[in-house]
Amino acid sequence: MRISFGGLVLSFMLLAGCGLGGDFSDLQSYMDEVRARPKGEIEPLPKFLPYESFAYSAASLRSPFQPPIKLEVNSRQKGSQDIKPDEARAKQFLEGFNIETFVMVGTLANESGAFALIDGAGGVHRVKVGDYLGRNHGRILAIEESKIDVVEIVPDGEGGWLERPRTLSLKERS
């Protein structure tokens, strides 16, 4: 690799030309002008009100996402003071979900009895006669090959309670 003397001299001259003539007066005058401007002020942070918690008191009412039950006032069943849910018993896990979310998917039987398999609430669950499910105090009355009979205890709106029968049918495979 050979470098000519003329090319070397020309390179040094160009490099020296970049450093010469340090006239930055226009840049210096602009910087002085910017420094002379009045300083800005930062506004103080706004005062935030503390968070106030909210107690939701409508959890026991009908969900607004469920269709309302249409009952005519004349043919409406009257509740009874004799029928009421047992509030003293311990709640079971499946009572925390709407009964509409459950689907029967099968049955099991052994020497201890018959069980139904229901899908919902994040998985498949095994239930037996006497177990509770759904938010309306639903108790399983009977388990058959193709359905589960449940009775729910619901308020009648006038201080009494009604028993409402429901059936969970076996889901057909598609």
Residue 115 has pLDDT above 90, yes or no: yes
Residue 40 lies in a domain: no
Residue 28 lies in a domain: no
List the CATH number of the domain containing 149.
2.30.30.830
What are the backbone angles phi and psi of residue 152, rounded to the nearest 5°?
A: -105, 150
* Cα 20 to Cα 14: distance, rounded to the nearest angstrom: 10
- Confidence band of 118 (pLDDT split at 50, 70, 90): very high
pTM score? 0.54
Q: What is the pLDDT of residue 133?
A: 92
Q: Is the sign of the CA dihedral 76, 77, 80, 83 positive or negative?
A: negative
Residue 15 lies in a domain: no
Residue 42 lies in a domain: no
* Cα 99 to Cα 95: distance, rounded to the nearest angstrom: 8
- What are 35-66's pLDDT values in tens digits? 998 888 888 889 988 888 888 877 777 788 87
Structure-model confidence comparison of residues 156 and 93, the more confident one: 93
Residue 102 lies in a domain: yes
Residue span of the structural domain in which 162 resides: 47-174
Residue 70 lies in a domain: yes
* Cα 22 to Cα 128: distance, rounded to the nearest angstrom: 94
Residue 158 lies in a domain: yes
